[in-house]
Chains A and B, each alone.
Chain A
Amino acid sequence: MKLLVTFLIILAFLQTTIIPIDLVVIILILRSYVKNDQANLYIAFGIGLLVAHLSASTLGLQSLIYLLLVQIARSFANSRFSENILIFLPVTALLLIMNNFFTAYASNKSVDLWPEILIEVLLSIPLYYLIKAWEERFTFKREIKLKFRK
């Protein structure tokens, strides 16, 4: 958890200074999708405050957006659609578009999705498998044994 928080803080600094891509929200959405953990909500709230502070926008607004996205991602993960392994991709794309719309609306800016949204969606593919592998590293998986009939 400490590692995740540290990583998200670094990403928050990176996205407000160097990289114009919302890296934090990708990680938050994907982690929420992969793992049902109430810490996701705390992290979304805290990192939302930090991102709002670093980008000099009104505090609380980013937290509201992040909390909403995290909760929607978790709801999708709990639904029966999530049985398909590739459903995370349209879900992530949808949530990232929502994030862009909310952020643009809150800061009175026009919505400009292209090409950031494509980069973010493409970036979410490797990140999803990385987060999945990291979160399920201690999960025990039963060995498959084949039975032969005589």
Chain B
Amino acid sequence: MEKVTPNLQLFLILILISMLVFAAGNFKLLTYPQRGAYFITNPISFGFYNLKQKAGKQLYFIFAARFAAQENKALQNQLGETLSEIAKLKRQLAETESLLIQQQHIDPRTYNLKAARPIGLDRYLRIDKGEKDEIKVGQAVIFKDNYIGKVISVSPSSANIQVLTDPNSKVSAFSINKNGRAKGVLTGQFGTQTLMDKILHEEAIEEGDLVYSEGTEGFLPRGLILGKVASVLERQNEVFKQAQVVPVLDIKDLDLVFVMTE
């Protein structure tokens, strides 16, 4: 068993020496040796201190870079949200403008119009309103005073619109200018044009004339703009002449269309 206080003698001697050193230090007797020792220890201490400063700077750079990356990511997310918000506001503004313009053109008190947003365009124009919104097959779709097409199929929450350029589309139409008017049938062509057929030779039609709906189909009011004459095809040996008609509006640019529910 070891003693509880081992090396007691050595301990006491070292305590005594420490006290002597302490006393000598208090009486400033060790000032010069201590100053001499500082010549050795101070450069080492400064070396450690500089090491700390450099390491601190490097660590700070790492933390700063990490913080900047996080901040950058947060700002990018914020920017994305802001852009999406701007896009949404722009769309709402365009829709509001469309509603205002529409009210100036066709009286909503005469025709019950239901605003719908185009959601796709291939052969048919697809809108975001369907059976739930009382959309029915055969109803006319307009924008301002322009005829866009006719509802040909309806699902609960969307509907397909047969546009004027569809090959199955046929609308009785007339054009008017200072020399008179011309009547015909406007049929869709493959592409972006329509053809006004069955125009008598004596009827006046020129390039640039506006073509309007006749209103004989029942679902369509008279006087809606169907397009503009691009060229007149006239052959003397044929009974009727024809006119190529181009739409006044580009359907792709529309933010809102209106279905005439009644």
Contacts and interface: CB of A to CB of B under 8 A. Distances in A.
Contacts of A74: 5-7
A17 interface: yes
Contacts of B3: 78
B59 to A, nearest CB: 13
A41 B13 CA distance: 10
Interface of B: 2-7, 10-11, 14-15, 17-26, 30, 34, 37-38, 41, 44-45, 48-49, 51-52
Contacts of B4: 75, 78-79
B41 A54 contact: yes
Given A48-B18, A58-B26, 9 more contacts: A14-B48, A38-B7, A38-B10, A41-B10, A44-B14, A53-B37, A53-B41, A54-B45, A67-B18
Interface string A4-39: 000000000110111000000000000000001010
A132 B220 CA distance: 99
A63 interface: yes
B44 A13 contact: yes
A45 B18 CA distance: 7
Interface residues of A, number: 28
13 contacts: A17-B52, A38-B10, A54-B45, A58-B25, A59-B21, A59-B24, A60-B18, A60-B19, A60-B22, A67-B15, A74-B6, A78-B3, A78-B6
Contacts of A59: 21-22, 24-25, 30, 34
Contacts of A16: 45
